[in-house]
Every structure is written in C-alpha cells, then in structure tokens.
A and B are shown apart, each in its own frame.
Chain A
C-alpha cells in the first residue's frame, strides 16, 4: 500500500535535489519502483503525457501522481514541482553575494553533471522496460536525436513523427 506522507516526501525530495523538467526522473524511478508503488509503464505513460501536454515538461510528474495515487497523488506532485522553484525569489536577492564562490559553484556543477549523465540512461531504461527495444525503436530514438540537434524542428513535431513511426512499425 502507498503511504501518503512518504509519497509526498519522495516527490518533493526528488524535485528539491534536481533541476529541469526531467531532473527528478532518476530519483523517483529508483524510489517508487523499489517500493512497487509505480511500474515502468506508469512512468512511460506519464513521460509521454508530459511531453505532449501544454506547459512545462515537469508536469509529467503530475500525470505520474495521478496514475499511481489518483487526485491526491496529482495534488502532491503539483506541490512538489511548484514549491522548490519559488526559492528563486530569496536566492535572486542573495545571488550577487555568493555567485562567485568557487565551492558553491563547484557543488552545483558536479551535481548537475551527474544528473545530466543519468537522466538519458534512466529515460531509455524506462522505455526499454515498458516496450522492449528493437531496431525500429532504436531508429526512432536516433532519428529524434538527429532532428533535435538541427534545432530547426520543433520538439512537438519530432514527437508526432515518433508517433507516426510507431504506428507504421507496430500496427
């Protein structure tokens, strides 16, 4: 059974320790799967909705909250993604004093690099565990990387092409 306060804390902690819309994915994946509170399929569905829905990508976790714990889960997830960024208001005031501190900057950089290295790995693992991986999947992934790297194709068009390729390959 899902324990509500723990779920709320895990959602908030993942958001507090990460940045960017997908930064909380690796931690949540580890925390929720090990407790059997969410499946890889829940993650895959939530990530797709987050990409397709309007607003920040970070809202994928609202979909995840709903899938695993209904409306209360969605509410917890919404709070978890909204509250930590509000720290920017006090931080904006402190910024000029500490921006040049090497140790602070080093910590943020090290954490961001580790996060940036693990997010694509976890994302691919979620996709793999939900759907397996074959040549068509790998082709779609490589094609998406190439299209996004050109910076000419909007991300939503890349996803639409992915959907069309999926239907063509597996219908």
Chain B
C-alpha cells in the first residue's frame, strides 16, 4: 500500500534511486547531499527547492547522521513509511556491505609499509577535513546567534573554545560538556530579549 507521492514516487523507485546516490558518493556527506538534490529536485522534480530546504532544516534537529535523516524525511513525504524504508535501505545496505569489505581488506594489508604511509597521509588530510566540517557547523550558528544578541555570539564563541580545550585535556567526561553547553545555552536563550533591530 504505497501512497503515491506528488509525481508518483514509490518505495521501490526510492530504493533504486538512493542505492545509486549512495554508491556514487565516494567521499561522504557532502557528495550525498549534492547528488540527492540533483536527482530529487532538479531531475525528477519530486520536491520543490523550498521543500528540500525545509526538510534539510528539520534534519539538523535530530541526532545522528544527517544524510540518513534526509533520506528518511523526503522518503516519508513522497511515499509514507514505504518511502522511508526504500530510501533508507537504499542508502545504507549497499554502502554498509562495501564498507565491511573494505574493512576486511584494510585489516589484511594495513601493516604493509606503503599502505601504512598512505593511511598516515589520509588520516591527517581527513583531520584537516574535520576542522572544516566544524567550521561550517559553527559559522551559521554564531551568525544566527549574533543576529539575536551580541551576548549570545560571545557565549557561543566561548562554548566552542571551552569544549575544544576540555576535549584536548580529556579530564571532563565529554557527555557532561555537551549536555552542560546545551543546558546553559537553553537558559541563556530563554532570558535574552526579543531580537534587536538589525543595524541599518
């Protein structure tokens, strides 16, 4: 009992489509986002750009891997629970199998000298990538907080700095740092008055 979406998307079509998206997107989340937008919005017109943007925003509010949430939410809007099942298993199942096969292979060869050298290069390049991922998360939040109040902007910067120092020292359980930052930010946001008029 597949509910027909706006342009007749059903669970099986979503399964095939997300399998293709998942398998083509070497290099992670950003590649998946780009491909999914091209397929769902540009080519098939199953979603309008503003629907995509709204879905994307909602996906930032749930825990876990954002791309999985995007597949689930757009699948649900297009074809109900069958759409969720099709899109999420299409994205995950083939990619998980390939990840496992690669793990097996890496495990066998990771002590070969040049493989080790290549891994070392990739790890540090990826560490650089994680810096950019952090930056791209931090910037829009600080911008939005700054638009509401200068205090929130300073507080946000302080949270980033404190959390990175605590992560570096490793003395405080990180879970306490994360929940503490969330709790203090929740209280502060509740106290801050209505947004100021933007400067002319």
Contacts and interface: CB of A to CB of B under 8 A. Distances in A.
A140 interface: yes
B178 A111 contact: yes
A7 to B, nearest CB: 17
A158 B106 contact: no
Interface in A116-152: 116-127, 130-131, 137-138, 140-145, 148-149
B26 A91 contact: no
Given A82-B88, A107-B185, A171-B117, A117 B27 contact: no
B122 A110 contact: no
Contacts of B181: 110-111, 113-114
Interface string B128-156: 11111111011001101100000000001
9 contacts: A44-B119, A45-B106, A54-B98, A107-B189, A113-B159, A131-B123, A131-B124, A144-B127, A171-B117
Interface of B: 22-32, 55, 58-69, 72-73, 76-77, 84, 88, 91-92, 94-96, 98-100, 102-104, 106-107, 110, 113-114, 116-135, 137-138, 141-142, 144-145, 156, 159-164, 166-168, 170, 173-175, 177-190, 192
A154 interface: yes
Contacts of A59: 95-96, 99
A156 B103 CA distance: 18
A164 interface: yes
A104 interface: yes
A57 B59 CA distance: 16
Interface in A90-108: 91-92, 95, 102-108
A67 B160 CA distance: 32
Q: Is the interface of A mostly helix, strand, loop or mixed?
A: helix
A4 interface: no
A120 B126 CA distance: 10
Contacts, number: 384
A109 B58 CA distance: 14
Nearest to A51: B126
A63 B144 CA distance: 36
A86 to B, nearest CB: 5
Nearest to B123: A127
B137 A85 contact: no
Interface of A: 15-23, 26-27, 30, 44-59, 62-63, 66-67, 74, 78, 81-89, 91-92, 95, 102-127, 130-131, 137-138, 140-145, 148-149, 154-156, 158-159, 161-167, 169-171
A82 B68 contact: yes
A49 B26 contact: no
Contacts of B175: 17, 27
Given A102-B189, A167-B121, A127 B127 contact: yes
B73 A89 contact: yes
Contacts of A20: 29, 65-66, 133, 137
B160 A58 contact: no
B72 to A, nearest CB: 5
Contact of B84 (A46, A62, A74, A89): A89
* A-B complex: 5 closest residue pairs judged by Cβ atoms: A166-B121, A110-B185, A55-B95, A106-B189, A162-B125
B146 to A, nearest CB: 12
B128 A44 contact: no
Given A26-B167, A114-B182, 8 more contacts: A49-B102, A84-B63, A88-B72, A106-B186, A110-B185, A114-B177, A114-B178, A162-B126
